[in-house]
Amino acid sequence: MATIEQKGMYAKFPRSGKNVSFTHYCPGCGHGIINKLIAEACAEMGLQDNTIFVDPVGCGVFTYYYWDASHISAAHGRASAAATGACRARPDAVTIAYQGDGDLGAIGFNNAFQAASRGEKFGCIFVNNSLYGMTGGQMAPTTLAGETTTTSPFGRDTSLTGYPLHVCEVFNQLKAPVYIARVSVADTRRIMQAKQAIRKVFEIQRDKKGYALLEIIAPCPTNFKMDAQKAAEFCINEIEKEFPLGVFRDDTTKAPEESSPVEPSTSPLLAPKTVPLFASCAELFAEKDAIEPAIDDNTFAERRFKFAGYGGQGILSLGLTIAEAARLEKRHTLWFPSYGPEQRGGSANCSVVVSGTPIGSPTVEHPDVLVCMNQPAYERFVGDVREGGIVIVDETVPVKVDPPAGVKLVVWPAIRMAEEFGVPKAANTMMLAALKKLNCTGLSGESLETALVASFKKKPALGEKNRELLKKAEATA
């Protein structure tokens, strides 16, 4: 005689490592019923090939023994984060996270909440049995006031542990979820309602409508320390009083604009921009006038530069111009800026190394060339300059400290010239004129000029303007 198979569940559980046909759930446990409803819904809707189940840590950890579909078994509390990864990786699949009170309500609450807030395209089935089952009946965020558990042995004291956490009600404050409901599996009528709600969660995922949260109240006779019937009655008479059943939100039948309670902003400052699309990395990173790689040349004496001043004086871009000129001449080069809180204090500095051979240490301990646009920078770095090196300071800097012996000091009117030429922002270009005129970079004037123009790639007119300013400064100073 033919047998009727349980839909969506394996007949026996080979993934358990034992060829058994009974689940690990205790008699009267709500998980067993919920597992069957989920497996049935998945199978009846023809989604077994398309579903990725993300399993929790807790009593639900072994759902992969039972459900005939692919599974990812996540870390404790992280099923919603893992489901985010899975549904983003496989947008065509149906992703379902299965979580309990500890997993979702406590350790992983923020992951679940933020996933809901982002409107991730997965369904989250949250089993609330008012305590931690797997670890031995401890208090959960969902434990009722006065409820006895192994970590609230005198009953949950709300003056010390707060009140039961209402997950559906909290998530219902979010804009993105399309479906939020609470059901129960405490009796036959409730089980039939739960079945419909579970199907709904699968439908939402199949149709790519958005995030769905389904909370299911479930009895835990073992940790309630009651028989199955009394445990079910406890769910109906006590848990449901605190956690009323019902549909908190169902936006699945509404058009997207109807379900959106907040008007989108009309401010041009908040207008989203179109993402330009590229077919390949090569296309995305293609560069006009790409520069050839550096070549080794032992005859070129390595030069180390330090540029320092206030933020806004163009110190960092002056350094970048030197590095660009070095690249044009196929020299090895590197550039690095002061960063982090250092740059927020109003000062800025950067280091540049130009070399004929691969560069070892990137730090510029002893610059050959130091350019200072303000007094603190001068006083901080002047003592480090290498013998035979050069210090260029803006004429506004009071030189109260002498440079070390054998170091040449040049006072240059960068800031004044920039103001006289009517382009106060171009003080760094004025400094470049000094570097060019003093011939202290080891790089040709032509490369410096080309690099300067290239630094205004996005505003070509400014590039030409700066080229003129550079020439004018060289002729003037």
Residues 79 to 108: which contact other proteins by CB under 8 A?
81-90, 92-95
- Binding of other proteins by 282 (CB under 8 A): yes
Return the range that interacts with other proteins (CB under 8 A); candidates 128-136, 192-200, 287-295, 422-430: 287-295
Question: Shortest CA distance to 467 belongs to which of 420, 439, 454?
Answer: 454
Cβ contact 149:156 at 8 Å: yes
Q: How many residues bind other proteins (CB under 8 A)?
A: 74
Q: Is 69 in the site for other proteins (CB under 8 A)?
A: yes
Is 294 or 371 the residue whose CB approaches other proteins more closely?
294
Q: Of 141-149, 192-200, 261-269, 323-331, which segment contacts other proteins by CB under 8 A? A: 323-331
Q: Which is nearer to other proteins, 87 or 427 (CB)?
A: 87
For residue 264, the minimal CB distance to other proteins (Å) is 20
* Nearer Cβ to other proteins (245/320): 320
* x-or-dash string of contact with other proteins, 357-376, rule CB under 8 A: -xxxxxx-x-----------
**Least Å distance between CB 31 and other proteins?**
17
Applying CB under 8 A, does 292 fall inside the site for other proteins? yes
In the set 40, 68, 250, 474, which binds other proteins (CB under 8 A)?
Answer: 68
User: Is residue 444 involved in binding other proteins (CB under 8 A)?
Assistant: no
Name which of residues 98 to 157 contact other proteins (CB under 8 A). 110-111, 114, 118
Decide if residue 294 touches other proteins (CB under 8 A): yes
Instruction: Provide the mask over 15-54, with x wherever binding to other proteins is found by CB under 8 A and - wherever it is not.
Output: x-x------------------------------xxxxx-x
Residue 140 is which amino acid? A
The residue (of 40 and 242) whose beta carbon lies closer to other proteins is 40
In this structure, what token pair is assigned to residue 30?
A: 């709500």
- 81/197 with CB nearer other proteins: 81
Q: How far apart are CA 339 and CA 331, in angstroms?
A: 25
Does residue 281 interact with other proteins by CB under 8 A?
Answer: yes
Contacts of 175 (CB under 8 A, 6+ apart): 117, 260, 261, 262
For other proteins, the closer of residues 93 and 373 by Cβ is 93
Question: Whose Cβ is closer to other proteins: residue 387's or residue 468's?
Answer: 387
For residues 255-291, one letter each, b for 16 or more C-beta atoms within 10 angstroms of the residue's C-beta and e for the rest, the string is eeeebeeeeeeeeeeeeeeeeeeeeeeeeeeeeeeee
CB nearer to other proteins: pick between 235 and 325: 325
Task: Please say which residue, 71 or 182, places its beta carbon nearer to other proteins.
Answer: 71
- Least Å distance, CB 13 to other proteins, is 12
CB of 394 within 8 A of CB of 373?
yes
Q: Are 438 and 428 in contact (CB under 8 A)?
A: no
Tell me: does residue 339 bind other proteins (CB under 8 A).
Answer: yes
Question: Which residue among 46, 268, 272, 340 contacts other proteins (CB under 8 A)?
Answer: 340
CB of 15 to other proteins, least distance (A): 6
